[in-house]
Structure 1
């Protein structure tokens, strides 16, 4: 009775009152994301989307049911993007409202179209639940590649609170987990009508318990195993973003990384990992600073570091890359990986000939994209799947399917752009899901954090907290032979989407 009254009052709202309520509910639901992970915030607010669609009498209202809730969700979930603009507020501060509300509105449009599509299907109230879950998951998939893609904070990431539940990612990936999460979170909307309690209990209570039990079993069957004779040292120097590219501090920053690296226990290390652009020199062409960096290489080992790369003087066409380099003790470059998935407005400006905007990273030239994904051969180490920065948020774009399977994921990033905010926590959650999906361990070096070593089922076996300065010494876990998701990719979530859509068709007449 209480839920019936609540739905009646909500549906009685019209115009700006309903839109504002949806916006605020979506903003509140974002508390279920890392790092707060208040899961009830999602389950208590998301039914309003279904109720709003029930009450929609026009296409505009149906579109607004998804658009306004998800605008609030993205505005709170992605507020930290604006902090990157405030590293140079004079040049980029004016973009803050566009970064928060404009980007949120663009992303929410996918979900407004989803609710509009379900409305046009003229389904009963019961059928709308699986139909909405299917449509929202398809919207997530679309936003992962349309306009270069931004699959940040998919709905399944709320389960970062439960490692056992995250294990479903090894079967259905993040899209499959998002589909199930939508079903769970939408189901309570049916409690406002009699006769649906068993179905709601099965989805909202039974399904997460089933996922937790299956994940717990999987974790117990995969104890940690370590690669012999490999000891990693991850360096987190916590260089402030405002100091990173200053000409008068670049060499001091390099020496700082070297000093941290050569701290106590250096003799027992086999591999050193520095973050994205930890070295702000062109190491492949700058022998002096490459020799300086080589002093951080352990005997017989490697230094794996982020650094920019540039075409030699006089070579045309001119290119600059955001790269990962493997440096040997003899100051040679043993391997190079160039970042493939570049950040719009951060590393290049889309439609540069039209938009009068400069990129926010150092220098005026757009970065070029390298070929990838690749399997990187590293002397003395298992082959690695390299990822730079936000490349870790893209499912199925981790492992080169036409090359030998790597033994681990090597992720270097600089989340110093986003200060002490929720962004780095969400980035780590995405990285952990990639390890679970692929069955690969991961070493993650972040300038200001969160650096971590993760095993192939997502257990974090060592980490450096956000904002901390220091080193992390850890072994390298062994990979799994593979996962269902690593073998079949998005075929499994596609099958789950078909089943969910078919369920909506069978239930189309039920109210």
Structure 2
């Protein structure tokens, strides 16, 4: 135990390691709301150059590379997801110092993934008896990011590709997706590193390939505007999280959303945020309200999509749901909603602690953090039908689910007209978390070539066109409604067809090529010396 503690102390006190921490920490400015996208393309190659120098000077290169990967990851997530502690401190019922400590623990966990990428890069290089083969960093980083997106339900926040949403590299999103852009960024950074070491041929070829890919992307048209539009209205209630679930606030909240919608019945579809109806769907009082809203919307030839909580008394299961009120088909004259109909969506990818508590029997007695309102949800099916509202098919995702392109892809069809995501980012206050969340949503729109609408309680509420460009946006922490005529498009992007598979195949081929050519070089060198 004493030896391990000394190793930890030595690592923390290592001044050289703190340079990697600062490099990682600086990346927070590459993401929304700062959006200095060029920072990623500058910091990453400089960091690789620095780590390479430290590794070459070290007697334990694998350990040194791993430590610097961990330091970079800790800085990266320490600043990037610092907003996590807001919900823990304000709504988790724990002191500020405890919330910060829990946030640090999360960052330490996430830092393991870039550490693993550098460990694998250095370890394979060591086995091949070569100096660090930095070309391996692109595939090992890709593998680490995949593991981060699936392990313990996944947390793929702040992947490098998101920082390029407004950069020239964003043109690649419909082709290879965000994770493909991450792969390109690492290739770009490694290429610059090798150029600085005057290893020009392969680096120049890699940079030229990236440039050609960007040029081809700019000249390609993946989806076609049909000439038709649909008018969407998004309602932002701006309900304080501290009163949202209080029983005496339920009717005032529901009536607020209905009143804001009534003056916008010229829209084809009106969208309310996640759990906008802060009541259980099965309750008689809730059914009375839904019946009024349903008939009112249908009478005015519109549809309302709202978040709500459903509870099955027979099975004692809660679901975080989206339901459609009003017109299901454009040609319908009657209201389409009735309780437990199939035109609904149940959230599949639940948020740990907030929506389900692992080892709940053990953790719930420890702190109010593990007893947040509605923290015992059941997962909906992974694949569900698109919602149908006034003749428009919307692919729904609730809150955190928008960060998982594979889930979106599994539910995407040729008939999908619009991507729909709702959230309640009031949990994270006036932090950069909601802005990062919107940035992720914009990337999904660009990848799949569909307009996207995002309705939230306190912001960021916005709409994008099929290119991920924001066409309407509401200020945060203000009650209001935005409306826009969104284009309906047809066609599929390459990413919608094949997802991440081409990137993973290319990464595997790159890995095998590097290993094979290195082994051949080693044999040739051995033969020349014998």
What range describes the TM-score normalised by the shorter chain of this pair? 0.7 to 0.9
Q: Contact between 1:71 and 1:107, CA under 8 Å: does it hold in 2?
A: yes
Give 1:102's match in structure 2, choosing from 92, 101, 105: 105
- Bigger helix share: 2
Aligned mates of 1:464, 1:198 — CA distance in 2: 49
Structural mapping, 1:168-207, within 5 Å: 168-193=172-197, 195-196=198-199
5+ residue gaps in structure 2?
1-10, 328-334, 523-530
Q: Does 1:261 align with 2:265?
A: no
Q: Does 1:18 align with 2:16?
A: yes
Aligned mates of 1:290, 1:37 — CA distance in 2: 41
Q: Does 1:67 align with 2:73?
A: no
Q: Contact between 1:226 and 1:475, CA under 8 Å: does it hold in 2?
A: no
Aligned residues: 488
- TM-superposed CA distance for 1:112, in Å, is 0.9
Residue in structure 1 matched with residue 8 of structure 2 by the alignment: none
- TM-superposed CA distance for 1:23, in Å, is 0.9
Give 1:444's match in structure 2, choosing from 431, 435, 454: 454
Aligned mates of 1:97, 1:67 — CA distance in 2: 19
Q: Return closer, same or farther for 1:480/1:457 CA change in 2, 3 Å cut-off.
A: farther
Aligned mates of 1:353, 1:379 — CA distance in 2: 40
Give 1:144's match in structure 2, choosing from 139, 143, 149: 149
Q: Contact between 2:40 and 2:160, CA under 8 Å: does it hold in 1?
A: no
Q: Does 1:129 align with 2:134?
A: yes
SS, match of residue 87 in structure 1: helix
Per-residue displacement from partner, 1:404-425 (whole Å, max 9, x unpaired)?
7422211111111112221111
Which of structures 1 and 2 has the bigger CA Rg? 2
Aligned mates of 1:423, 1:268 — CA distance in 2: 33
Aligned mates of 1:359, 1:401 — CA distance in 2: 33
Aligned mates of 1:507, 1:238 — CA distance in 2: 59
Per-residue displacement from partner, 1:449-495 (whole Å, max 9, x unpaired)?
22222223323222223334311111232233212222222221112
Q: TM-score, normalised by structure 2?
A: 0.84
5+ residue gaps in structure 1?
1-12
SS, match of residue 476 in structure 1: strand
- TM-superposed CA distance for 1:403, in Å, is 6.9
Residue in structure 1 matched with residue 118 of structure 2 by the alignment: 115
Per-residue displacement from partner, 1:31-80 (whole Å, max 9, x unpaired)?
21222122343334323245325334324322112111011001111111
Q: Contact between 2:92 and 2:369, CA under 8 Å: does it hold in 1?
A: no
Residue in structure 2 matched with residue 84 of structure 1 by the alignment: 87
Q: TM-score, normalised by structure 1?
A: 0.87
Aligned mates of 2:514, 2:132 — CA distance in 1: 4
Q: Return closer, same or farther for 1:41/1:476 CA change in 2, 3 Å cut-off.
A: closer
Residue in structure 1 matched with residue 35 of structure 2 by the alignment: 37
Aligned mates of 2:382, 2:79 — CA distance in 1: 32
Q: Does 1:471 align with 2:481?
A: yes
